[in-house]
Structure 1
Amino acid sequence: MGTASEGATPGFLVWRLSMTWRVAVDRAVAPLGLTHAQYSLVASLYGMQRSGLRPSQRRLADHTGLEPLYVSKLARGLESAGLLERTRDPKDPRAVQLALTERGRDVTEQAIKVVQGLLRQLLEPLGGLDSPRARAFTRELATLLDAPLDPFSQNSEHEKEQS
């Protein structure tokens, strides 16, 4: 562990890792005209489309963990860049469905390859992408992501203990 990490809390380490990852992805996909947030959106959309889905902006927001308003803003920018198309959902005129354009698929495929290379670098200290340690790490991250976080529930529990 690096000297900056010694004695660090798990929260600090998660934050540092997420920031390190975001910056690395931003730099890696910038030559393709994408930001990390845009990459997250198009890569998720790419995977969903490969599964036969044409998700709404809301569903994509839920999938990526991004705020719906931010997904809308990103989608408009990606649409202007010719990477995706936004259409009204015929079943729900309030909903907007998203789909990658042919150019969007090409750019996304390139970006996925670049980010996969970064992921291999990141997981090398754990034995590589397919190592037992990396698989266990992935399971642990998924467990943490599934844990509900409500900052107000902890305060009310703490207040009850103080009473």
Structure 2
Amino acid sequence: MSDIEAEVRHNAGFLIWRLSMGWRAAMDRVLEPLGLTQAQYAVLAPLYGMSRSGARPSQRELADLTGLDAVYISKLVRALERAGFVERSASTVDTRAVELTLTDQGLATVREAMPRVVRLRDELSKPLGGIDGERTRQLAEMLVQLLDSPELRR
């Protein structure tokens, strides 16, 4: 192994980026038959979770929960609305806010997508013991610590 190959294999940032890109591509392949991308699923799934109790979260609340940029959330929500998965409406509490609701089609699609995503997550995390594995939990904790870095929150 060359020095450059060794450096690449030990560059955690580069490896996290490659893993992220590969994970996203795998998610896109699993979700494509449902008319979704990984990014859209990253909005639909939390929206589903938040709305199960009857909540109608705002785009801002969804951005805060997911850690995604509010402008990116808005772009994704508009695409999901055009596809018939989400409805946007003015908030009754804050006239500046937009509340989100899953349509019947969105609800059916997210319910069909979730087991596919769980199976993929389990398959991709098998080297760590699967989605319920101790090493997977430890990795998730480490990733949360890395994501909490002030340098990443700018």
| Shorter-chain TM-score tier | 0.7 to 0.9
- In 2, Cα distance between equivalents of 1:7 and 1:18: 15
Larger radius of gyration: 1
Matches within 5 A, 1:4-153: 7-149=9-151
SS in 2 for 1:98: strand
State whether residues 5 and 13 of structure 1, in contact with CA within 8 Å, keep that contact through their aligned partners in structure 2: no
CA positional deviation for 1:8: 2.8
Q: Which amino acid aligns with 1:35?
A: T
SS in 1 for 2:88: strand
Change over 3 Å in CA distance of 1:82–1:147 after alignment to 2: same
- In 2, Cα distance between equivalents of 1:151 and 1:96: 24
Q: How many residues align?
A: 150
Q: CA-atom RMSD, angstroms?
A: 2.1
Comparing 134-143 with 32-41, greater Cα deviation is found at 134-143
Q: Which amino acid aligns with 2:44?
A: V
Using the aligned pairs only, state the percent identity. 51
Structure 2, unaligned stretches of length 5 or more? Answer: none
1:86-133 CA deviation, whole Å, 9 max, x = no partner?
010111111101111121111001111111111001111111221211
Q: Which amino acid aligns with 2:66?
A: T
TM-score computed with the length of structure 2 as normaliser: 0.88
